[in-house]
Chains A and B, each alone.
Chain A
Amino acid sequence: DAKTTQPNSMESNEEEPVHLPCNHSTISGTDYIHWYRQLPSQGPEYVIHGLTSNVNNRMASLAIAEDRKSSTLILHRATLRDAAVYYCILRDTTGTASKLTFGTGTRLQVTL
């Protein structure tokens, strides 16, 4: 599986934007970039995914570098409820069964 590299932790002030980086220099052409987050005492939650173009949804935006070797998850206005571990994962969708392999993720702290 192609690997991702994320900072261990980041801090943000409430109401400010947060940019969570992810490096994936060995990404292949069939890998989708997925982001999940895990709040304390809960299962992971899907946030967003993309292949080549930038993506927006109600939770976040995903900016993908032109060479696809890195991506950035953007939370436009962080709230205390966004404090979680954020995982950047490459999902290979070739074959009939694919697997989602979690890396160590970035622990986001949001303060008042």
Chain B
Amino acid sequence: DTEVTQTPKHLVMGMTNKKSLKCEQHMGHRAMYWYKQKAKKPPELMFVYSYEKLSINESVPSRFSPECPNSSLLNLHLHALQPEDSALYLCASSQEGQGAISGYTFGSGTRLTVV
């Protein structure tokens, strides 16, 4: 299995809702990432998990809460989002460890609309 699977593919949520985005990989990758991409812009890094521990938080608002239950799963919990949070949310994974030089594998993303 050489894929990163993201669910759901599309999500519409109200500003008072709580929802979760899910990401799964079975390549044995020990680093997983969340990116946010607005239309016609490059992906922006949000969080990095290394060996199931949060290692980088790019000053993301607390209404986004990541979770890594095990080495294959990554969740992004959403609460009290704003319309400007509407975007494509991308999950990625890679081998990790000092000297690791492999490429990242990206999922196809969850397109989130906040109404």
Q: What number of B residues sit within 8 Å (CB to CB) of A?
A: 26
Q: Tell me the chain B residues, 89-106 only, with Cβ under 8 Å from chain A.
A: 90, 92, 96-101, 103-106
B109-A96 in contact (CB<8A): no
The docked-state distance in angstroms from the alpha carbon of A100 to that of B95 is: 13
CB neighbours of A91 from chain B (8 A): 101
How far does the Cβ of A12 sit from chain B's closest Cβ, in whole Å?
A: 21
A68 at the interface (CB under 8 A from B): no
B100-A34 in contact (CB<8A): no
CB neighbours of A51 from chain B (8 A): 101
B50-A96 in contact (CB<8A): yes
Partner-binding segment picked from B14-22, B40-48, B61-69, B79-87: B40-48
Q: Tell me the chain A residues, 40-63 only, with Cβ under 8 Å from chain B.
A: 42-46, 49, 51
Which of A's residues lie within 8 Å of B, judged by CB?
32, 34, 36, 42-46, 49, 51, 85, 87, 91, 93-105
Which of B's residues lie within 8 Å of A, judged by CB?
4, 31, 33, 42-45, 48, 50, 55-56, 90, 92, 96-101, 103-109
Q: List 5 A-B contacts (CB under 8 A).
A: A46-B103, A46-B105, A97-B50, A97-B56, A102-B44
